[in-house]
Structure 1
């Protein structure tokens, strides 16, 4: 990452839009729910460098933790939530915590996926962020320590074709309590970011990574612009840039302010 000029520190671009931030008033006949957060979203042709924006999913792209929603179907939510919090604070190894949490899901029917997807809600500003990224000609990807069974649907809804997530093992229509294939942990998230960039022929300086948990720190550190979003204290302390929330499209302000200093 190009160093910022003297006197400009990362916290100078830590931004957070207030809950009551003004939005544009829709024109006559417009859907009143379809308001933009910024005049930046226009039909103008893309400008500026091509970039790759990669986001975490749980508590970043969406407001929930998918494994906790699945745990509701197993009656183990309290146990799973406690382990998730410790893992996101970096207190325990993510891979070990994933195995421990997934084990509690044994016996949950696959029909639970539909309920979980219905209950998962996008973080405010996600649709605007992805739409503006696409308008600028950026590629967008998702990298999740959660599960492909849910992430694939979220990605499709947003027009995102690149994603990486864990897979849950299923037998006779029920979860076995195990994952299948390589675990998407902290190191795998960074590797996926690098892999996506290489596929696109982009240098790492052209990447943006956004996440909230300790397992996002490696990809945040490897990205050209690494952003902690509504993050745990350990992540806020180490990430180069931060957005406190509640709207994730404030990441665009971080990128624009960093670009203005280069």
Structure 2
């Protein structure tokens, strides 16, 4: 079989029903596909269905019309398990936006969050948006970074994603348009091999200057990091799985072998081919062919 369809629902929901699978397979058959067996990755939660006879594009087009409450992802049946994970941090590996939480201590969270939302949807220039938001924090004690860190929560499945891929020999990188104070903490706690992010500048009295060290790490920096890390590990971008939710993740997602828009902003949803809107981050393991009994961590 040339291709595989992976169906994924919310974790531990038992929501992937025989009727949903039947709708998906009927849709593929109507498009001219010849199907293999259903292989459960997690009972009633995620499964693979191998098929042949139609192209990936034809399968995507057909499945767009298949209205079921599950993520539907078609890939080549070979080469699914990747050797490099490159992940965004805010609203991907962690549930919120760390800059917005930091802004709360300066009493400007609403203003900063509004700018963040527009920037992540691609409505604003990323560098201009980060400069404007950080400017609102000028004079804040850098100790507030520790207070903001206390509010950080990990997205469901983040630990399993990193631990399982590393246990299977993959390199795990966290590359963020946020700040290195937070990425370094996430790296230590979750076991990432590498992190990269922007740097907040401080005065001698340990207050924030309201400026970010230049150059700002933007969407191109994420692409550069993917290509650099792939080269360092003796692989190509096709051997990577990349995940993010914002407009500054789109280029990284587009060049990775498996590029995933994870509960992403509307503009990102429109442009990314692989979208996860039902599953948690363990969906990225299912996409690579891992079954729940193979997960590490949690």
Q: TM-score, normalised by structure 2?
A: 0.72
Quick one: distance in 1 between partners of 2:82 and 2:251?
A: 22
Structure 1 runs (4+) greater than 6 angstroms displaced: none
Quick one: distance in 2 between partners of 1:221 and 1:55?
A: 13
Distance 1:245 1:145, change over 3 A: farther
Q: Which residue of 2 aligns with 1:198?
A: 231
Paired residues of 1:225 and 1:240 also in contact (CA < 8 A): no
Paired residues of 2:8 and 2:279 also in contact (CA < 8 A): no
Distance 1:203 1:15, change over 3 A: same
Check if 1:141 corresponds to 2:173: yes
Partner of residue 20 from structure 1, selected from 10, 13, 31: 13
Paired residues of 1:185 and 1:215 also in contact (CA < 8 A): yes
Unmatched segments (≥5 aa) in structure 1: 23-36, 40-47, 258-262
Quick one: distance in 2 between partners of 1:96 and 1:246?
A: 33
Q: Which secondary structure state, in structure 1, belongs to the residue aligned with residue 162 of structure 2?
A: helix
Distance 1:49 1:19, change over 3 A: closer
- Structure with bigger strand share is 2
Q: Which residue of 1 aligns with 2:285?
A: 252
C-alpha RMSD of the superposition? 2.3
Quick one: distance in 2 between partners of 1:76 and 1:19?
A: 38
Q: Which residue of 2 aligns with 1:185?
A: 218
Q: Which secondary structure state, in structure 1, belongs to the residue aligned with residue 175 of structure 2?
A: strand
Distance 1:106 1:217, change over 3 A: same
Unmatched segments (≥5 aa) in structure 2: 16-40, 44-79, 291-298
Aligned residues: 228
Check if 1:110 corresponds to 2:142: yes
Distance 1:151 1:75, change over 3 A: same
Q: Which residue of 2 aligns with 1:42?
A: none
Q: CA deviation at 1:20?
A: 3.3
